[in-house]
Amino acid sequence: MASHSESRFPWKHLVGFIFSIVLTLIALWVGLYSGFSTKMIITFIVILAILQAIIQLFMFMHVTESENGKWQTGTMLYAAFIAVAIVAGTIWVMSFGMGYMDHKDMKDMKGHDKMEMKHDDSGNMDNMDMN
Amino acid sequence: MEMVQNHDPNTPLEYQSETGRLNILGFWVFLGAEIALFGTLFATYFALMYRTGNGPTPGELFEIKGVMIETFLLLTSSFTCGIAVHEMRRHNKKGLMIWMIITLLLGLGFIGFEVSEFISYVHEGATLKTSAFWSGLFVLVGTHGAHVSVGILWVSAVLIQVARRGLVPATAKKVFITSLYWHFLDVVWIFIFTGVYLTRMVISHG
Residue A62 and residue A18 in one domain = yes
**Does 1.10.10.10 match the CATH number of domain B61-204?**
no
Residue B156's pLDDT is: 98
**pLDDT given at position B204:** 79
Q: Across the interface, do B32 and A78 touch by the CB < 8 Å criterion?
A: yes
From CA B135, how far away is CA B18, in angstroms rounded?
A: 44
Over residues B122-137, the mean pLDDT reads 94
- Does A49 share its domain with A82? no
User: Could you tell me if A78 lies within 8 Å of chain B, comparing CB atoms?
Assistant: yes
**What pLDDT does residue A127 have?**
45
Overall average pLDDT of the B60-69 stretch: 92
Q: What is the pLDDT of residue A95?
A: 81
Structural domain containing residue A88:
70-102
* Half-sphere CA count of A59, side-chain side, radius 13 A: 24
Chain B from 94 to 123: CB within 8 A of any A CB? none
ipTM over 0.90: no
Is A75 in the same domain as A54?
A: no
* In a shared domain, residues A58 and A15: yes
- Is the sign of the CA dihedral A81, A83, A84, A85 positive or negative? positive
> Which of A122-126, B18-22, B146-150 has the highest mean predicted lDDT (pLDDT)?
B146-150
- Per the domain annotation, does A117 fall within a domain? no
C-alpha B87: how far from chain center = 21
Do A86 and A60 lie in one domain? The reply is no
Cross-chain residue pair B31–A76, CB shorter than 8 Å: yes
pLDDT confidence tier of residue A66, bands split at 50, 70 and 90:
confident
C-alpha to C-alpha distance for B10 and A83, rounded to whole angstroms: 37
The CA-atom distances, in angstroms, between B29 and each of A49, A68, B40, B86 are: 22, 11, 17, 23
- Sequence-ordered list of residues with C-beta below 8 angstroms from that of A43, at least 6 positions apart, any chain: none
Whether A3 is in a domain gets the answer no
Residues A63, A74 within the same domain: no
Confidence at A129, pLDDT banded by 50, 70, 90? very low
Query: Is A16 in the same domain as A62?
Result: yes
Q: Which residues of A touch B24 (CB under 8 A)?
A: 66, 68
> Same domain for A77 and A61?
no
- A28 domain-assigned: yes
Can you give the pLDDT at residue A115?
A: 43
Report the percentage of chain A scoring pLDDT > 70. 68
Nearest CA in chain A to B13: A4
Three-class DSSP category at B5: coil
Distances (CA, A) of A61 to B86, B120, B143, B178: 11, 35, 22, 11
Q: Domain map of chain B by residue range?
A: 61-204
Cα-based angle B118, B124, B129 (whole degrees, multiple of 5): 70
Q: A17 and A45: one domain?
A: yes
Q: Which helix (H) or strand (E) covers residue A53, if one does?
A: helix A38-55
HEC readout, B125-192: CCCCCCCHHHHHHHHHHHHHHHHHHHHHHHHHHHHHHHHHHCCCHHHHHHHHHHHHHHHHHHHHHHHH
Is residue A44 one of the residues assigned to a domain? yes
Please return the burial class of B52, using the count of CB atoms within 10 Å of its CB with bins 0-12, 13-18 and 19+: buried
Q: What is the mean pLDDT of chain A?
A: 78
Task: Kindly report, residue by residue over A70-107, the tens digit of the pLDDT.
Answer: 999 999 999 999 999 999 999 999 887 665 555 554 44
Name chain B contacts of A86, Cβ cutoff 8 Å. Answer: 36, 39-40, 42-43
pLDDT > 90 fraction of chain B, expressed in percent and rounded: 83
Residue A123 falls inside a structural domain: no
Both A83 and A56 in one domain: the answer is no
Angle at A63 between CA B164 and CA B78, to 5 degrees: 60
For residue A101, what pLDDT is reported? 54
Domain-embedded: residue A129: no
Of the given ranges (A59-63, B5-9, B120-124, B157-161), which has the lowest mean pLDDT? B5-9
In a shared domain, residues A58 and A78: no
Residue A42 and residue A90 share a domain: no
What pLDDT digit, counting tens, does each position of B158-203 carry?
999 999 999 999 999 999 999 999 999 999 999 999 999 999 888 8
Mean pLDDT on A121-129: 44
Tell me how many domains chain A contains: 2
Greater confidence (B175 vs B59) lies with B175
Higher-scoring residue by pLDDT: B92, A116: B92
| A34 or A24, which is more confident | A24
Percent of chain B's residues with pLDDT above 70? 95
Q: How far is A119 from chain B (nearest CA, A)?
A: 23
The whole-angstrom distance between A131's CA and the closest CA on chain B is 5
Is the separation of the CB atoms in A113 and A128 below 8 Å?
A: yes
Q: Which of A4, A31, A91 sits opposite B46 (nearest CB)?
A: A91
Q: B79, A130: Cβ pair inside 8 Å?
A: no
pLDDT(B88) > 60: yes
Asked if residue A5 has pLDDT above 80, the reply is no
